[in-house]
């Protein structure tokens, strides 16, 4: 591997790590917002990091699968695949961890929408904030 290939590979790895960190922070924001807004959803503080890791891992694995199934079988459902992935990730996280509790069908539906929307917004805002901060740091 020559120097140019190595530099390109290193840059891709760094971008992947930054993207993963932003995705995890965005999911953490989504879970926190839903827990604050919904009375029948709670997150245990000490287990929070574990819950975010489980939730993000499940979502990363299940999202492409759901999108592919929807695309093959019901094209109209492709747009809702992110919501379905969020619901599945919430179910698995609640089932696997002791720190996430969601009670009631309405709370499940609202939690899915709130976590999805808050994580989406955080995922859009965080990179802009980080780029602005990096540009400010480099200007000094």
| Average pLDDT for 95-106 | 94
pLDDT of residue 68: 85
Tens digit of pLDDT for each residue in 15-72? 888 888 899 999 999 999 999 999 999 998 888 999 999 999 999 999 888 888 877 8
Question: For residue 133, is pLDDT > 80?
Answer: no
Residues spanned by the domain of 21? 3-139
What tokens were used for 36? 């604050």
Has residue 84 got a pLDDT over 70?
Answer: yes
Please name the residue ranges forming H helices in 38-104: 48-73, 81-96
DSSP 4-32: HHHHHHHHHHHHHHHHHHHHHHHHHHHHH
* Number of structural domains the chain divides into: 1
Q: pTM of this prediction?
A: 0.83
Task: In whole angstroms, give the CA distance from residue 37 to residue 1.
Answer: 52
Listed residue (105, 61, 63) closest to 83, CA to CA: 63
Q: How confident is the model at residue 103 (pLDDT cuts 50, 70, 90)?
A: very high
């Amino acid at each position: 591997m020559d120097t140019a290939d190595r530099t390109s590979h290193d840059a891709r790895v760094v971008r992947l790590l930054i993207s993963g960190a932003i995705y995890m922070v965005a999911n953490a924001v989504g879970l926190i917002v839903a827990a604050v807004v919904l009375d029948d959803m709670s997150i245990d503080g000490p287990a929070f990091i574990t819950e975010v890791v489980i939730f993000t891992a499940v979502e990363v694995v299940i999202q492409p699968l759901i999108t592919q199934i929807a695309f093959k079988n019901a094209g109209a459902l492709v747009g809702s695949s992110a919501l379905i992935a969020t619901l599945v990730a919430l179910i698995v996280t609640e089932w696997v961890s002791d720190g996430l509790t969601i009670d009631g069908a309405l709370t499940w539906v609202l939690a899915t929408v709130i976590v999805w929307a808050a994580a989406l917004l955080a995922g859009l805002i965080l990179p802009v904030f980080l780029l602005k901060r990096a540009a400010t740091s480099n200007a000094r």
